[in-house]
Amino acid sequence: MREFVLGLGRNIATLAGAALATVAALAFLFVLALSALGFTDSPYIGIFGFVVVPALFVLGLLLIPIGLRIERRRDRLALERGERPRALPVWDLNDARTRRAFGTFVLLTLVNLAIVGTAGFKAVEVMDSTEFCGTACHSVMAPEYANYLRSPHARVGCVDCHIGPGASWFVKSKLSGSWQLISVNLNLYPRPIPTPVENLRPARETCEQCHWPAKFVGDRLRVFTHYAEDEANTETKSVLLLRVGGVQGRAAQGIHWHVDPSIRIRYLSDAKREDIREVELTRAGGEVEVFRRGGGETAPGEERTWRTMDCVDCHNRPTHIYRPAEEEIDDAIRLGAIDPSLPWVRREGMGALRAGYESHGAATEGIRRRIESFYAASYPEAAAAARDRIAAAADELGRIYRVNVWPSMNIRWGTYPNHIGHTWTVGCFRCHDEEHETAGGRTISQDCTTCHALLAQDERDPEILRQINP
Ligand code: HEC
Ligand code: HEC
Ligand code: HEC
Ligand code: HEC
Ligand code: HEC
């Protein structure tokens, strides 16, 4: 044992390695204890304890044999020069002391393996946690995280959509994740993060872990409430019976017909997937139809690629839902967060949201000042009485701005369009525009009844709602 320790001590690398491994092992056990006591809410503790510390630990372990090797070479050179090499320890297991030393060595190795194993497991667990994905690179992912937290998928882990099951995507994601960590630290990442995400795993391998594609959804009744930009903020409603459909019996129908497992739709488009030139439809029997849009020559150097349609070609914003200002403000008025009895609040609110601000702080301040000064100037008496309601409206507008617009990441209104529908973005009308034609002259329909029965459109008091909800 004495020789072993001396052997360690003879070389600085070995000594440093042993010290590093010991300190790292102690630090690791400390973080593990913290974690057992429930102190691991912060992803930084996780990154430090389960990624950085184990890395140092492994580095320490590696330094030990490197040092021993350098030492051995030095001995060999000494021998060549005709000097007597320093004696190496003789491991005689008949000797009780050596036996004990050997036992200690084996035991320590086992402990080391256990530490590396646990650390590896913990590292994966930490890196797969939603907190890690959402907050470790905070300024970068903050917008995605904020919108995720208020979405229907707020209880679904980032990895369920971004990685999915199986080892190969796991490895791919860790490789791209490592690059992301580097680019964040070196400040190389693009703002905003470009979409569509090119290397997203095919949605059918992720979404379908939870959503059954062949589930028959049928018709879905949706009521859309809007407010006019007039003094009274006049309320109107549109009522739609959306034909979501799905597979029923032996064939699919309605909107989810596109993802019937027996048909395939591919399309040729620009990188943004917005300018669609050709759509190729292969039906269950194998017949192929191609819908082409004439005109609009491809600019030289412009890249167009084919893509097979899946869930995210419509549901491209299932969880990072940036909403248009109109939709947000209409919801806030409908839910009472903004008082509809404040004159012109829809128009003034839109104006305040649309103005440019340098930061979230500046927006909060600017929106408040703008709303308060409008009422002070236009309705001086009423403004005094409605002070609290005006302040509440300004607060709500600030909140709407801060969750949808992120000046630090160059995310503005409309940076991330949502393809469901056609009101605020082209959406379904990228293909359903009556301009994509087969050789036989058939087009992809824009007939309103293909997708929904329009039971009322922008009506003050729709008859249909009184019938179903008297
Ligand atoms: C319900 C599935 C789902 C979940 C859960 C999910 N994402 Fe996404 N995410 C997507 C889809 C789909 C896209 C691709 C959007 C596109 O290509 O236009 C995306 C895109 C992104 C982008 C690119 C920027 C953007 O807004 O398009 C980032 C960054 C991102 N996700 C981070 C996260 C983080 C962090 C979490 C967990 C807090 C998370 N995602 C959870 C489905 C999901
Ligand atoms: C880990 C499970 C899981 C995965 C993976 C998942 N979802 Fe969901 N999704 C849910 C749950 C749970 C809900 C229901 C939330 C609720 O009703 O509040 C939901 C709701 C939805 C809704 C209805 C939202 C609404 O407004 O009612 C849509 C659309 C949807 N998911 C699409 C997708 C798409 C597209 C993907 C793949 C990119 C996906 N989901 C991946 C679990 C999942
Ligand atoms: C052609 C576009 C399109 C495609 C492709 C598509 N969806 Fe949908 N989906 C819709 C529309 C539109 C709705 C209704 C949205 C609304 O209520 O406003 C919907 C609704 C849903 C809902 C809510 C259903 C409910 O019970 O209310 C879920 C869940 C969903 N889709 C999942 C998926 C999954 C998973 C895929 C991929 C297998 C997929 N969708 C593919 C357009 C599409
Ligand atoms: C990439 C192109 C593309 C996009 C985007 C697209 N569709 Fe389609 N859709 C098609 C094609 C192709 C057909 C088949 C047309 C035909 O055969 O007449 C179709 C057919 C349909 C049908 C009729 C299905 C049936 O029962 O035969 C509905 C409903 C529909 N689409 C709804 C939607 C909705 C809603 C959206 C947007 C959320 C949408 N589509 C987006 C390409 C697209
Ligand atoms: C290809 C399918 C499709 C066609 C064709 C289509 N719509 Fe729609 N429409 C949708 C979907 C999907 C939504 C729901 C969007 C959402 O969930 O936010 C919608 C929503 C609407 C809304 C409510 C939006 C709001 O915010 O008030 C109106 C109004 C509407 N459509 C009118 C029409 C009219 C009029 C036509 C005929 C010219 C038409 N649509 C054709 C798919 C379609």
Q: 372 with 230, same domain?
A: no
Q: Quick one: 59 and 100 in the same domain?
A: yes
Q: Is residue 203 part of a domain?
A: no
Does residue 181 share a domain with residue 94?
A: no
pLDDT, one tens digit per residue, over 372-387 is 999 999 999 889 999 9
Ligand nearest to the CA of 456: 5
Q: Has residue 194 been placed in a domain? A: no
93 and 142 in one domain? no
Domain region containing 391: 325-409
pLDDT per residue as tens digits for the range 448-467: 999 999 999 999 999 999 99
As a whole number, the mean pLDDT across the chain is 87
Q: Domain ends where: 92, 127, 162?
A: 127
- Using a pLDDT cut of 90, give the percent of the chain over it: 50
As a three-state string, the secondary structure of 131-178 is HHHHHCCHHHHHHHHHHHHCCCCCCCCHHHHHCCCCHHHHHHHHHHHH
What dihedral angle (degrees, nearest 10) is formed by the CA atoms of 178, 184, 188, 194? Answer: 80
Atom of ligand 4 nearest to the CA of 420: 38
Q: Are residues 226 and 265 in the same domain?
A: yes
| Pair 117, 147 in one domain | no
In this structure, the answer to whether residues 314 and 434 fall within a common structural domain is yes
Q: Are 15 and 8 in contact (CB under 8 A)?
A: yes
Q: Which atom of ligand 3 is nearest to the CA of 257?
A: 1
Give the Cα separation of 189 and 183 in Å (integer): 6
Pocket lining: 161 vs ligand 1, CB cutoff 6 Å: yes
Instruction: Count how many domains the chain has.
Output: 4
Helix (H, G, I), strand (E, B) or coil at 288: strand
Q: Does the model's pTM come out above 0.75?
A: yes
Residue 197 CA: nearest ligand 1 atom is 17
Q: Is residue 284 part of a domain?
A: yes
Are 144 and 118 in a shared domain?
A: no
**Cα of 320 to ligand 4 centre, how many Å?**
24
Q: Between 291 and 3, where is the model more confident? A: 291
| Residues 268 and 362 both lie in one domain | no
Residues in the chain: 470
Q: Is 126 in the pocket of ligand 3 (CB under 6 A)?
A: no
Together in a domain, 245 and 294: yes
- Does any domain span residue 195? no
The answer as to whether 212 is a domain residue is: no
In whole angstroms, how far apart are CA 219 and each of 32, 216, 244, 391? 52, 9, 6, 41
Say yes or no: 118 and 13 in one domain: yes
Looking at the fold, whether 13 and 122 belong to one and the same domain comes out as: yes
Which pLDDT belongs to residue 39?
Answer: 63
User: Which of 102, 127, 152 is the endpoint of a domain?
Assistant: 127
Residue 206 in any domain: the answer is no
Q: If you measure from the C-alpha of residue 310 to the centroid of ligand 2, how many angstroms do you get, rounded to a whole number?
A: 14
Domain contains 198: no
User: Would residue 144 count as lying in a domain?
Assistant: yes
End position of a domain, from candidates 140, 171, 189: 189
Percent of the chain with pLDDT strictly greater than 70? 91
Sign of the dihedral defined by the CA atoms of residues 314, 316, 320, 321, in that order: negative
- Placement of tokens 């001086």 in the chain: 380
Q: Is the CB of 156 under 6 A from ligand 1?
A: yes
Atom of ligand 3 nearest to the CA of 215: 26
